[in-house]
Every structure is written in structure tokens, then in C-alpha cells.
Amino acid sequence: MERSIIRLLTCGSVDDGKSTLIGRLLVETDSIPHDTIDSTRNIRRSGSTIAAGEIDFSLLTDGLEAEREQGITIDVAYRSMSLLDGKRLIISDAPGHEQYTRNMAVAASRADIALVLVDATKGVRTQTLRHLTICSLMGISRVIVAINKLDAMEYSQSVFEEIRSHVQTALTRMHLDDVLFIPLSALAGDNVVQGSTHMNWYRGQTLLESIQEWRPAELADASPRMRIQLISRADNFRGVSGTVHRGSFTVGDEIKIFPSNQAAKIAKIITYKEEIQTAHDSDAVTLLLEPEVDATRGDLIAAASEELHPSDRFNAEIVWLHEDPLIHSRSYLLIAGTSQTPATVTRIRHKIDVNTGSQNPASNLGVNEIGSVEIATDAPLTLLPYLQSREFGNFILVDRLTFRTVGAGMIRHSLRRGENVVLQKYEVNKSARAVQKNQRAQVIWLTGLSGSGKSTIANGVEKRLHALGMHAYVLDGDNLRMGLNSDLGFTPEDRAENVRRISEVAKVLVDAGLIVLVAVISPFETDRQRAKSLFDEGEFLEVFVDTPVEVCVDRDPKGLYKKANKGEIPNFTGIGQGYETPKNPDLHLKGDADLDENVTKVLGVII
């Protein structure tokens, strides 16, 4: 089934001329209403040198008023035009400023062709190389490098060749096989739609020709797949709905549902208006299965012959999109299609220098940086290598507190250990162990500044519980740093790993039926929420020991504030590093109140 839509991404550095080029392309192919074109003759950006009455092509793709005021593209502007063979070309004009790389990366994930502009008057810049790197990571089929503004360089062939040589050197380290170089002037119209009379030394295609003659590569593997977007229910009716990708499904086909590996047969295929026998690529359908297997939103349906391997460990490449850095051991939400699950970046293998292509060691990733990471998900996912399937090999990471998208990722491969480790269940379970001890297993997580009184309160609670014949254990942050966590420092990533390890130990002890008292600073809200997510409803109680920092400094039981004030302890919470106050703690204690009173309050939520 031949595709009817081609997606073109335009990118490059600020002021390379993307908006002007796309505006001209739209005008010269008669893809813009004439009244819209006429309006651009009377509007001018601040500082514009375009003569009155002339068309300012760049205004045709900038959709936000803020963009016009600043003279830059902020959001991705989308425009559509018809090609000669009847196909539609969807053009996305991506922002060039480094601050908006995230917008470009999202647009690149869906593009077939990338048009990367280089300003001939400025040459290749870092953002140009960053965009080429992202195009490579996103698996874009064809890249057109348009060397623009050659009219300002007297249409010099030597300038064109010098820039092409620079870009080709960078391309040797990227997985881009189909790359074209076109010299042009968006302002004057050279080699955009019509060939240039000023560059007789160039015999290649115009921009429009290079777009129109592109054809997608034939897929060697055309096995059908469908990710479940919705479970459709009605009286005596239950179907799974989604969009078919690559191949086709036919009534009677044997299928499997992943990650559960359940087998079924397609009994009916229904569209929004009729029942059909075969569903093809891009068709939105509802499948009725026999038998009615236990499928859920986010599951993947594939032909029964497909050998897919769900995993909870992946190697991936990530474009980091947020001002706050990526921190390994911190929990995020991983969203792939309609599936959503907590995930932790367990290792940052390296980050990529977009200028040289070198792979440099890294402990975190900053905004717009690109790196290779290992990810662990809380549940197995059926994700495919991105180079094999863009649809089923991409994901985003979302902050669990703000729900902002912080990273865009591409799966390279699943890690073998994610497929080989299987949960072993035992007959004596958590409930049985707790009943044996005549108590409810739970974790009491005491958080607060150093010197706030967490350990003192935990000690008092454990003594009272012990006297009552109950089974409790204290996990103290400092004590664990003498053994299990002795390899960790106090950076945000090490603190995240410290909390992750403590919460996993607490989970084991709760499974043993114990009441677990955790006394650890745990300064970051997202790390505490990740710890809470490991436990069943009602098993995790967050206790905020709220003590003024002045009181903590006066107490200073370990002499740490004194050392921190001398600069001997960097990243010390309350002085060198901030503390994020719990938003909705289950219990709020005043750390400078009477100890017995605080102990009694904690016991009140336990017993």
C-alpha cells in the first residue's frame, strides 16, 4: 500500500533561513492562499530589510506572535502542500535556537526527510551538527543539506565545497546513507523550485525535485503489528482497538499478545462504519479475538509467528530535554505509545560530543545533551530496536511529579539479563509472615534535615514496639552508608541511588512481615515518591520531621554543620544543597517538640 503522505522536517541554526525557504517553496508551488500572501507584503519584523511591497516568506510559517516579535521560530510550524504525483507533503519548520532543540527532536521522530540548512555566510555551527546527530538517531531516511544564502557569497562554488566537505567529515560517524547537498538562495529563489542561472557549476536537482523523487525503502519484514489503544466494550461485545502498522491482519489469522504471550485468533475486524475481512497498514480498527484473552491498553498484537521478547532492561539513546539534568537511579515515567510504566536510568554509559562524535564518560546529562543509557522498567515491555521499528522503538521520559516530558529516547536493544531473570514466587507470602507476627507489615519513612531528630524518634518508636512484643527494624541512613552504601557520595545522583537501595531493602523487610522504620534525609520529593511506589496501598507512611534549620545547627550532633560551614562538606543538605519539603506527608511532626509526644504520634499511625 503506497504511502500518500511524506513528512519533511526543516532544521538548522538560528537565522539560517528555514522559514524563508519553506515560505518560498509554498508560494512557488501555489500552496498558500493569495490573500495570505498579500498580507505578508504589509507586515514586517523588527529590523527587516525586505522592501515594502515584497513578500516576507518567513511570515508564512511562523505561527506565534512571540516568534514574529523575536525574529526566531519557537514552536514547530506545520504546513501542507501537494506534490506532482498527488501525494501530500507535510512540512514541519523546527526551531533553530538551541533552547528549543526538544521541539526539533519530537518533529524528527516522525519525519521521512530532513532538510538541514547551513548559512553560507557563517558555515557549519554546533547546532547544525546537533541537528544532524538527532536526525541520525531518529532514523530519518533522507537528509538534504541545503547550503543557503549563497547569493550573499557571490554564488561561490568554493564556499559550497568547503561547507560540504566539513559536513561530510561529520557524517562519517553518523548512520546516514542517503545525503544530498544543494546550493541555494531561499531569498532569491535559486534551486528551490527552479534551477539557478547564477550557479552553472551545479548540475544536481532542485530542492523540490529532491523531495518529489524520494521513495521509502522497501521493508524486508512486513509483519503486522498493532498496539492496543483502547479496550472497546458493549453488551456482549469486547474488542481491542488500535492502528495497524506495516503489514495486514485478516480474519482467521493466528496472533499473539505481548508481553503476556497469550495466543488467540481474529474472529472479526470492525472499522468505524463496517465489518471488513482485512485490515491494512495505517487502518484504525477493532479486533474481536477468540478466545477473549486478558489484553490491556499498551499491549502489542503481532502475528503468531513473530518472535518478540518482552524485557524490563534496555539499552537506549536519549536526547535530554529538560533544564534539570538526567540523574541515574532516579525514577521517571516511561511512555511508549499507550503504555506507561515507572522506569529508572540505571546507568549512563556515555554522552555524545556533537562536534567530534566522541563518546565521553558522564554521570548525568544536561539539557539538549545526547547520551547512551541503560534503563530498567518496573514491568516488562515489548519494545523493538528503533532502527528496526520507529513506531515501537521510541519512548519519552516524564517527570513523575510535574508530568513534564524530560527526555526522548530510542531503543537500541533489550538487555539479555532483562529476559533471563524470572520472579520466583513462594507459598509463604508477606501476609502470612505478618499474621504470624500479629501485626501489619509497613514502612514508616522519616525524612527531614540532618539533626532534625529522625533517628532519635525512630529509636524511641522501635523501643516502644519491642516492649509491646512487635517486630520492627530501623534502617538508618548513616549506618547503611557504612556498608551497603559505602560507595556513594552526596551528589543528587548518589542521593537518588542511596534512597533507591534503602527502599529496596525496606521492601524486602516489609515482605518479611516487619514494621520498618527508615530514618534518612532523602531530600528530593521525586526520590521519596519513587520509594513509595514500591509498596502496596497503605504500606508506606511518609513522616516529615519538620525542624527549623537553626535548631538543627544548634544541635549538630555529628559536627556536620560546622564542617559544612567551613566548606569541608560539599552538597550538604540545608547549606550546600536544598531540601524539598514533603507536599502531603502522612504525618507532620515538629522536630523540636517533646520526644515522647512525637513517638506517641508515630505509634498512633502504626497500631
CATH code at 311-420: 2.40.30.10
Report helix angle 492-511 to 525-533, nearest 10.
20
Catalytic residue among 158, 339, 522, 533: 522
Query: Is 291 in contact with 264 (CB distance < 8 Å)?
Result: yes
Q: Which residue has the higher pLDDT, 524 or 574?
A: 524
Q: Which CATH number fits domain 5-212: 3.20.20.150, 3.40.47.10, 3.40.50.300, 3.40.50.11030?
A: 3.40.50.300
pLDDT band at 376 (very low <50, low <70, confident <90, very high): very high
- In tens, the pLDDT along 15-61 reads 888 888 888 888 888 887 777 777 767 665 555 566 655 777 767 66
pLDDT at 418 over 60: no
pLDDT confidence of residue 51:
60
pLDDT confidence of residue 543:
97
b/e burial code for range 509-520 (CB count within 10 A of at least 16 → b): bbeebbbbbbbb
Query: Is 147 in contact with 164 (CB distance < 8 Å)?
Result: yes
Nearest CA to 174 among 207, 128, 206, 213? 128
Its CATH architecture, for the domain 225-303, is Beta Barrel (2.40)
pLDDT confidence of residue 264:
95
pLDDT band at 97 (very low <50, low <70, confident <90, very high): low
How far apart are the C-alpha atoms of 229 and 124, rounded to whole Å?
Answer: 43
pLDDT confidence of residue 2:
54
Q: Where are the domains of the chain?
A: 5-212, 225-303, 311-420, 430-606
Q: How many residues does the chain have?
A: 607
Least confident of 65-74, 133-142, 358-367, 545-554: 65-74
Its CATH architecture, for the domain 430-606, is 3-Layer(aba) Sandwich (3.40)
Is 522 a catalytic site residue?
Answer: yes
pLDDT confidence of residue 441:
96
Q: Do domains 5-212 and 430-606 have the same CATH topology?
A: yes
Q: What is each CA distance from 282 to 290, 389, 391, 525, in whole angstroms?
A: 23, 15, 12, 42
Is the peptide bond preceding residue 291 cis, with omega within 30 degrees of 0? yes
- In tens, the pLDDT along 563-607 reads 877 777 777 886 767 899 998 999 999 999 999 999 999 999 998
Least confident of 33-42, 69-78, 85-94: 69-78
Residues in contact with 59: Cβ distance below 8 Å, sequence separation at least 6, in sequence order: 19, 23, 40, 43, 45, 68
pLDDT band at 73 (very low <50, low <70, confident <90, very high): very low
Find the mean pLDDT for residues 205-218: 88
